[in-house]
Structure 1
Amino acid sequence: MIDGWSLQQRLIAGVLALLAFATLGIGVLSVVFLRANLIDQLDQELRDTAQRVQQVASGAPGDEVFGFDGRGIPVETLIGVVASGGRASAAYLDSDLRERPLTRGQLEVLTGTVLESPRTLRFPGGLGEFRVLAVPLADDSALVVGLSTRDVTITIARLGAVISAVLVGTLVVAAVLGREVVKVGLRPLRRIRQTASEVATLPLDRGTVALAERIPELPTDPDTEVGQLGGAFRRMLEHVQSAFDARQASEQKVRRFVADASHELRTPLAAIRGYSELTRRSGHDLPDDIRHALSRIESESVRMTALVEDLLLLARLDEGSALRRDPVDLGRVLVDAVADARATSSEHEWEVRVPETPVIVTGDQNRLHQVVANLLANARVHTPPGTRVTAALGSLEGRALVTITDTGPGIPPEIMPVLFERFARADTSRSRATGSTGLGLAIVAGVVAAHRGEVTVASRPGETVFRISLPREDPAPPVPPSPESAAGLGAPPSTAG
């Protein structure tokens, strides 16, 4: 059970346990020593009483010893005589100074015990405990004198009650004060925990990481454990910050190199493509192998140009370059993109579903068209002929929802974690043949993120669904979902084919 307690609870419980143990130990020792002292005093009083009774008994024949008059004899005193043959007679002087003879059962306690020194005997019949001492008489009988331990018991009980009350009060006060003291002592730890929680929520995988702004004033006193922890935690954050700064500087250099290289490669690639086209078209007498080589140069230059354009776009997105901010009709974007895909591949079944009410977002129309076109091209490249590909548009809770669904074989599970990373390919053997650069889905993720949206994917054999969520420009009522989109997003069909 203690495993689930907080450090504050454990510290308070530990302090209270030690305090209770110490207080209880002191109380028990006090009770033991006080009882021993009271018993010693009672024994001394018992000896004095026995001596007085013995003096009276030595001059009084027979039962005259039982003639209590109360002079010099304490109340609740027991006096008896045990003859050598075992016959006993005894009486008890109660608090009202009345003489009460002992019963048979009470006399048996006297006759069955050797009382050479003061001992505690418990008598039945409600008489209670007595400290009893036997004094020998001249006729081989024994004079038995006893004093009640009632006062000792009452005193010990009262002391126990006082100790218990003090123990409870001490624990309550200690719990209240200890809670405040521990709370103040653990305040630096709470600041460290809060800082760690804030750092855990930072997007450390992208953008500029500013840990220094999140580090509060932490205790760094090397003479205290909390200060040592605070100093170590601050040094750790500073080390992590320096590592992130180095990573960011390195990534910035790479992005700048990619952007510069991509920009510089556009002109020579265009020249290579132009010269190859010109040579191939004007060289009617060229051998077939030369003509084929020129055709390959032209096609590779086209592919290389597309790769350079994609790299340049990603570099600009990484730098946070501003996109155009215009009202965009997503329905028109989907219709145009599906029309282009249908013209590119007639072997697939293309379908588009958009609502009658326009769904408007603020963004760059060309880039949003590129997002949809890349997803449609991804479905075309990685699904067999005859696959149905559906582009659906809808809205929900102030956001525009786009889904691209295909009935292909699905995405391999091992590709899903890196699907939106750069140069990720589900089928490397055919990606080059189909012209894929491995940057299409990375561009999708980058453009959608630049529009403050998000893209997700769900795939299984026979169905793959890409979902894009973008903030709408104007509030609009929810559009009923399309039955063809597996995610439950879309609207009644507009065109199909």
Structure 2
Amino acid sequence: MKLDFNSLRLRLTAGVAAFSILGLGSLASWTGWRMQQILIENHKKNIEEIATTIPRDAELYSKMASREQALSQAIKNIDTNNTFLWVESAENQILAKSNTLMNSSPTQENQLIALKNIPIKPKVIQLGNRYFVFCSDSLKISGKQIGYISVAQDITRDQTMFVAMMQGVGATSIFVIVIMAGAIAFYVKRSLKPLSQLSQMTEVISADDLGKAQLYLEKAPTEVKQLAETCNMMLARLSDSWEKERQFVSNVSHELRTPLTIVHGYLQSVLRRQQNLTEIQKEALETAASEADNTIGLLQDLLELARADHGNLHLNIENCILNDVVTEVVDMADKCSERNIKVEASTEIIEVKADYTRLKQVLLNLIDNAVKYSEAGTPITLKVTRKEEEGCVQVCDVGYGIPLQHQSRIFERFYRVDEARNRAGGTGLGLSIVKTLVEGMGGKVSVRSKLSEGSVFTVCLPV
């Protein structure tokens, strides 16, 4: 499935997922930082307490033993496996120190002792792959400063557990984020389903369905229901406007056809008594009669389309021999045109369901179209074939051709291709009537064309 980066579904999913990831990531980061701070603070308090206990105990023991023995006893009282203490004189001599740290080497202890600028406040440092919280303070016994006491507490185990825990939290967070993203995508898809349904319903609405079209969604959010109601009101207004437009065209066509027929009749009557007319008068009357005849034809076409729009186009569907219809149409066209019109058909008799008179009208219209839009002297060919359950007639010319971008609209009303087709003087209704009649008989019409090579109009009807 193609990913549409402009879709509302993708935008909502990505937006909600991004905010969720940001929120969960920030919460996890803050939680991890805060837990590490609490862990370190606990160790710092232990360090500070040890740093204050040693001088007090050393002073008590100094009353009963030597200074070195007092220091050793004081350190021994609080000696643990994860704490390393040492007392250093002002001359950088080690006066006393605790036992070796568990799982440590003399090298690491020497590195701790060799550290300079040891802070008074507890601080976390890393030596190799181990972590320590350490600090230093001056050591006074009986009010006399004898050196400095330094305390280093190994927190590697706690730090390792903390890192492992954070890795677990990170993996769990990623899993939760993936699950949330999937759940969000599913929820957004379900939430937007009414809009998809609305879109599908409006896609199938045609001009003929405007009056009957109603959009209704049962389990839809209030906003979508309001949108559907607004669309229904818009469809009602469009239906009303479309109906008024069609009624106007029908009324105008009907009202104008009668007076124009009368005018055309008077012009023909005057032309029949042309012995009293000058050449200029005769030419003017012939032009007026020709234009009146064209206008009557246009109005007749408009009335045909108006009847079809209102469902009043009556067709007498019967079984017709397609070969005979084509032969008769070609004979009629030969009498009205000097063009070479020929038929290509097999000996097979093809019987179709159609209105005999309307089918002749369709084919004559297509032949007239081919004559208008092809060079004089070029042939026009009608090919009669059978395709499965359809009988087809192809009207082929060697004319100007129709540009590809116009072929999809060639059957629209009043649509005419520029250049050569405009010069031919058509009204733009002929092909629209052809399409209306053929579809009314249950068939279909199509066009295939190439510029400067000609066009092929194909009419197919059910056998």
1:467 aligned residue: 457
The aligned counterpart of 1:310 is 301
Instruction: Write the letter of the residue equivalent to 1:117.
Output: I
Which residues of structure 2 form unaligned runs of 5+?
Answer: none
Matches within 5 A, 1:115-264: 115=118, 117=120, 119-120=122-123, 129=132, 131-136=134-139, 141-142=146-147, 144-150=149-155, 153-159=156-162, 161-162=164-165, 165=168, 169=172, 172=175, 176=179, 180=183, 187-203=190-206, 206-210=207-211, 212-217=213-218, 221=222, 227=223, 230-231=225-226, 233-234=227-228, 236-258=230-252, 260-261=254-255
Report the Cα offset of residue 217 of structure 1.
4.1
1:402–1:52 Cα change, 3 Å: farther
For 1:381-396, what aligned pairs fall within 5 Å after superposition? Answer: 381-396=372-387
Alignment partner of 2:209: what SS?
Answer: coil
Shift of 1:311: 3.6
**Alpha-carbon offset, residue 144 of structure 1:** 3.2
After superposition, the C-alpha distances for 1:31-84 in whole angstroms (9 at most, x for unaligned) are 213422332133213432454356446723657855899555333443434344
Instruction: Tell me which residue corresponds to 2:326.
Output: 334
Counterpart amino acid of residue 202 in structure 1: I
Residues 109 and 123 of structure 1 are in contact (CA less than 8 Å); yes or no, is this contact kept in structure 2? no
Q: Is the 8 A contact 1:269 1:304 kept in 2?
A: no
Residues 302, 148 of structure 1: alpha-carbon distance in 2 compared, 3 angstrom cutoff: closer
TM-score normalised to the size of structure 1?
Answer: 0.72
Q: Alignment partner of 1:129: what SS? A: strand
Aligned residues of 1:355 and 1:393 also touching (Cα < 8 A) = yes
CA RMSD of aligned residues (A): 4.5
Give the match for residue 50 of structure 2.
Answer: 45
1:95–1:293 CA distance, 2 compared to 1 (3 A):
closer
Does the 8 Å contact 1:135/1:143 carry over to 2? yes
Q: Are 2:136 and 2:151, in contact at CA under 8 Å, matched by a contact in 1?
A: yes
1:322 paired to 2:297 = no
For the 8 Å contact 1:389–1:406, the answer to whether it is kept is yes
The 3 A distance-change label for structure 1 pair 80 and 462 is: closer
SS in 1 for 2:158: helix
Question: SS in structure 1 opposite 2:16?
Answer: helix
Shift of 1:183: 5.1
For 1:301 and 1:71, how far apart are their aligned partners in 2?
Answer: 127
**Alpha-carbon offset, residue 161 of structure 1:** 4.5
- Structure that is richer in helix per residue: 2
Using a 3 Å threshold, how does the CA distance of structure 1 residues 438 and 159 change in structure 2: closer, same or farther? closer
- In the aligned structure 1, how far is the partner of 2:239 from the partner of 2:42? 78
Among 276, 290, 293, the alignment partner of 1:287 is 276
| Aligned-residue offset at 1:404 | 1.9
Question: Secondary structure at the residue paired with 2:375?
Answer: coil
1:357, CA displacement in angstroms?
Answer: 2.8
Q: Secondary structure at the match of 1:213?
A: coil
3-state SS of the aligned residue for 2:352?
strand
Select 1:75's aligned residue among 75, 81, 90. Answer: 81
1:470-489 paired onto structure 2 within 5 Å: 470-473=460-463
Shift of 1:271: 6.6
Which amino acid in structure 1 is aligned with residue 371 of structure 2? Answer: R
Report the 3-state secondary structure (helix = DSSP H, G, I; strand = E; otherwise coil) of the residue aligned with 1:394: strand
Deviation (angstroms), 1:237: 0.9
Segment drifting more, 15-24 vs 133-142: 133-142
In structure 1, distance between residues paired with 2:152 and 2:74: 15
Whole-Å Cα distance in 1 between the matches of residues 59 and 84 of structure 2?
Answer: 13
Q: For 2:352 and 2:4, locate their aligned partners in 1 and report how far apart those are by CA, in whole Å.
A: 55
Alignment of 1:60 with 2:66, yes or no, is yes
3-state SS of the aligned residue for 2:208?
coil
Q: Who is 1:13 aligned against?
A: 18
State the alpha-carbon separation in 2 of the partners of residues 22 and 128 from structure 1.
26
Q: Give ranges in structure 1 of 5+ residues lacking alignment.
A: 222-226, 474-497
Count of residue pairs brought into register by the alignment? 449
Answering whether residue 380 of structure 2 is matched by residue 357 of structure 1, we say no
Equivalent position amino acid for 1:78 in 2: F
CA distance in 1 between counterparts of 2:215 and 2:305 reads: 30
Moved more, 458-467 or 64-73: 64-73
Q: Equivalences for 1:18-37 in 2 at 5 Å?
A: 18-37=23-42
**Does the 8 A contact of 1:419 with 1:441 survive in 2?**
yes
Query: How high is the TM-score relative to the length of structure 2?
Result: 0.76
* Aligned counterpart in structure 1 of residue 400 of structure 2, from 398, 409, 413: 409
Q: Distance in 2 between matches of 1:108 and 1:43?
A: 21
SS at match of 1:194: helix
Contact 2:414 2:428 in 1 (8 A): yes
Distance 2:4 2:248 in 1: 53
Structure 1 residues 415 and 189 mapped into 2: Cα distance closer, same or farther (>3 Å)? Answer: closer
Query: SS at 2:319's partner residue?
Result: strand
Q: Distance in 1 between matches of 2:395 and 2:96?
A: 111
Asked if 1 retains the 8 angstrom alpha-carbon contact of 2:210 and 2:236, the reply is: no
Amino acid at match of 1:287: N
Higher mean Cα deviation, 363-372 or 122-131? 122-131
Which amino acid in structure 2 is aligned with residue 276 of structure 1?
A: S
Equivalent-residue separation in structure 2 for 1:123 and 1:429 (angstroms): 92
Q: Deviations over 1:2-31 (max 9, x none)?
A: 956341342133223213312432332232
2:276 alignment partner AA: P
